[in-house]
């Protein structure tokens, strides 16, 4: 019936997220606003799209009212500039303007030709080099990979071409991590989770929570969990040094622990480079955090998630034509010069390898310049370069007495009104 078709169209329009991207509201950042009906994981999916584009979220408002949800993000590129590339803006609108989950695989690759490999184990100098050497020896090409090391453990998610799921390959890789609680699995890329989300899950499953003595020796993010019993919320607050993808890592952890964020704010305006995030959460079943043990567990897991991507060490960027065995050769050179790969991001596109490595010495300390020079001479001075990690700049979108423009003031007031009506903030009148 025609009226039924029109009704279905109305339901689709009502439930499809509405995305507004505005460069005129704030003088220092691009505004990305997402309005939608409330859906499990919608916040994480929105933040994931922005994180995958290497955008920095300088400020954010999260608010739900009944069945509706609104996210407002102030974003810049890695150099602190507003978004000017129309293709990036169009991609954000298309990705956030549907209920389809963001892609898990690297862009530009055919899922049917890729295998997702997952590996965990006790880290040691040269382990990543050994993994890539096995893959090269078995004729597997690495299309894309992410590797993190944290608290003595290694996590790797790699997308492979040419038979990456063969039993012989898994057996040889399993031998490298055997005896230390390590594991190696493979699945079709089409069935794989987003690489960074999966790394968080793998390393959380490793129970990589340091002991009390270790925790006292190393600065950790300040995470507090408080009860708002009157409204049935738990309030999770995170304070730490701002860095790229910080909101993604926290939102991913809360999602994987089965918490739903109903309201929240993110602010990176502190002059000392600190970020403050505050979330009003409940379990997926609607209950708040009830015990001290659960609060402690939430704090520990968020601290670990923030630390995993702390970007410690010297950042080395490799850009060169791809070839078989490239990763094996480069990481072997690191090992031979006493360097430990703390993090790695591997990507190949159009026959060109664009890789990023964060390296330390074998003890996790700063690397001697002579070791860096020796590695660059072996690999190639022009294709392997030292890059300073862009330092996040304090957000100044609220200068001149406003939040950045009439439109943003209206949006900010809308969020504040929702929080006030729920009793989460006090009236300023």
Among 102, 136, 155, which residue terminates a domain? Answer: 102
Among 46, 79, 102, which residue terminates a domain? Answer: 102
Containing domain of residue 178, as a range?
Answer: 111-193+311-387
Q: Is residue 397 part of a domain?
A: no
Pair (142, 271) in one structural domain: no
Q: Is residue 42 part of a domain?
A: yes
Pair (26, 95) in one structural domain: yes
pLDDT on residue 5: 66
Among 102, 121, 151, which residue terminates a domain? Answer: 102
Pair (94, 155) in one structural domain: no
pLDDT on residue 364: 86
Pair (94, 22) in one structural domain: yes
Other Cβ atoms within 10 Å of 37 Cβ, number:
16
Pair (95, 7) in one structural domain: yes
Q: Is residue 400 part of a domain?
A: no
Pair (118, 183) in one structural domain: yes
pLDDT on residue 406: 36
Residue 300's φ and ψ, nearest 5 degrees, are: -65, -45
Count structural domains, the chain: 3
Per-10-residue mean pLDDT, the chain, length 429 = 54 71 95 90 94 96 87 95 96 85 58 87 93 95 95 94 82 90 91 94 73 48 94 97 95 97 95 94 95 95 92 93 95 95 94 95 90 96 88 63 39 48 43
Q: Is residue 92 part of a domain?
A: yes
> Looking at residue 316, which CATH number applies to its domain?
3.30.70.260
Pair (73, 152) in one structural domain: no
Pair (150, 13) in one structural domain: no
């Amino acid at each position: 019936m025609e009226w039924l078709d029109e009704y279905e169209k109305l339901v689709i329009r009502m439930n499809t997220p509405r995305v507004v991207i505005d460069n005129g509201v704030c003088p220092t950042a691009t505004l990305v606003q997402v309005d939608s009906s409330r859906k499990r994981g919608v916040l994480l999916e929105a933040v994931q799209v922005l994180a995958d584009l290497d955008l920095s979220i300088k400020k954010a408002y999260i608010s739900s009212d009944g069945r509706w949800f609104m996210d407002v993000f102030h974003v810049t590129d890695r150099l602190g500039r507003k978004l000017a590339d129309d293709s990036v803006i169009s991609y954000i609108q298309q990705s956030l303007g549907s209920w389809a989950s963001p892609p898990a695989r690297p862009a530009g690759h055919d899922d049917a030709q890729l295998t997702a490999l997952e590996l965990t184990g006790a880290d040691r100098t040269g382990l990543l080099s050994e993994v890539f050497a096995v893959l090269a020896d078995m004729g597997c090409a690495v299309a894309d990979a992410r590797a993190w090391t944290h608290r003595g453990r290694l996590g790797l998610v790699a997308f492979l071409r040419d038979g990456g799921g063969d039993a012989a390959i898994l057996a040889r890789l399993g031998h490298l991590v055997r005896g230390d609680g390590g594991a190696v699995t493979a699945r079709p890329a089409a069935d794989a989770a987003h690489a960074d989300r999966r790394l968080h899950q793998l390393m959380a499953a490793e129970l990589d929570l340091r002991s009390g003595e270790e925790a006292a020796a190393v600065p950790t993010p300040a995470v507090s969990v408080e009860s708002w019993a009157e409204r049935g919320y738990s309030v999770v607050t995170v304070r730490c040094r701002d860095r790229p993808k910080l909101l993604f890592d926290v939102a991913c952890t809360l999602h994987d622990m089965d918490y739903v964020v109903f309201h929240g704010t993110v602010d990176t305006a502190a002059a000392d480079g600190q970020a403050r995030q505050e979330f009003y959460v409940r379990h997926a079943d609607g209950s708040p955090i009830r015990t001290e043990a659960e609060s402690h567990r939430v704090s520990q897991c968020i601290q670990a998630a923030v630390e995993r991507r702390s970007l410690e060490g010297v950042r080395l960027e490799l850009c060169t034509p791809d070839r078989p065995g490239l990763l094996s050769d480069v990481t072997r050179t690191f090992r031979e010069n006493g360097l430990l790969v703390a993090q790695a991001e591997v990507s190949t596109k159009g026959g060109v390898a664009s890789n990023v490595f964060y390296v330390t010495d074998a003890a996790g300390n700063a690397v001697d310049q002579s070791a860096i020079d020796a590695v660059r001479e072996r690999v190639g001075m022009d294709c392997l370069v030292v890059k300073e990690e862009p330092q996040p700049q304090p957000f100044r979108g609220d200068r001149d007495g406003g939040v950045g423009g009439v439109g943003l003031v209206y949006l900010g007031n809308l969020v504040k009104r929702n929080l006030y009506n729920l009793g989460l903030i006090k009236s300023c009148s």
